[in-house]
Amino acid sequence: MDFHIQFGTFVAAGKMGKEPYGPHSHDFNQIMLFMGVDTNEMGELGAEVELCMGEEGERYMITTSSSVWVPKGLSHFPATINRMDNRFIYMEVSCAPEYKERSVPFDKKAFDAAPIMGWEGKYRKHIMTTAFIRKGAWLYGPKNRDDSGGSLAFIYNKDPNEFEFLIMCESLKKAPYRFGPIPDKPHAHPKPEILFFMGTDTDNLGYLGAEAELYLGKEMERHVITEPTAVVIPRGLAHNPLIITKIDRPFILTDVRPFGSGDFAPGKL
């Protein structure tokens, strides 16, 4: 499939990436997610990240859960975690089967002297604060009134002059809980998606602390998920029901659709 995704956490503040810590660009579109793991306040990143964008090296400060969408060819980085009060999850979604980057020449003195930008920044539109809402009962509609006690965010771009993507991020705090407006029936999408079951223990991202049942294909194959897992769902593959059956520790479900959904409107799942 034409995407490459990686995620993890940083154990301490410092420079992100690799030497010589300068700007780079890609021949593909990319989305970067900076995601807090406090399921009581998902908007809280717990860190301060300085990110440079564009050939001018405009500097931006990321201090809340945020996403950065980078069209192919747009230079970005260097990036530095100036302060870390809490660890956070960092995810890169690259719209290509293999990750490659190309170094971009730059004037280090000019980059170091560049001011920190606010709303007036040229690249501000590429940096979006992730707006979480409390996802209570009835949000799916009358056929599914389940409430996981968590929050939900839609991260998307539908600019026809750029590129389309959709990411849904939801914290889950209590079970049982079912997904979807019609929770007992499978559905399919015209574009691929990847479901990430992500633990929130940044000392051990290999621990999920929950159990889920997911059904795949016309055969309704039943899969039980008990550890951090990525479920790759090609376009047209039937999936669901998806049922959270047990939660010992709150976790995060991230639904990544690198090329958009084809059937999505804000507020409609």
Contacts of 131 (CB under 8 A, 6+ apart): 43, 153
* CA–CA gap between residue 252 and residue 248 (Å, rounded): 13
Model's pTM, two decimal places? 0.93
Tens digit of pLDDT for each residue in 23-52? 999 999 999 999 999 999 999 999 999 999
**Which sign does the torsion angle of CA 45, 209, 240, 40 carry?**
negative
Residues 54-64: tens digit of each pLDDT: 999 999 999 99
Q: Which residues of 137-156 are buried (b: 16+ CB within 10 A; e: fewer)?
A: eebbeeebebbbbbbbbbbb
Q: Decide: 126 and 68 in contact? Cβ < 8 Å.
A: yes
Domains of the chain listed by start with CATH number = 4-129 (2.60.120), 133-257 (2.60.120.10)
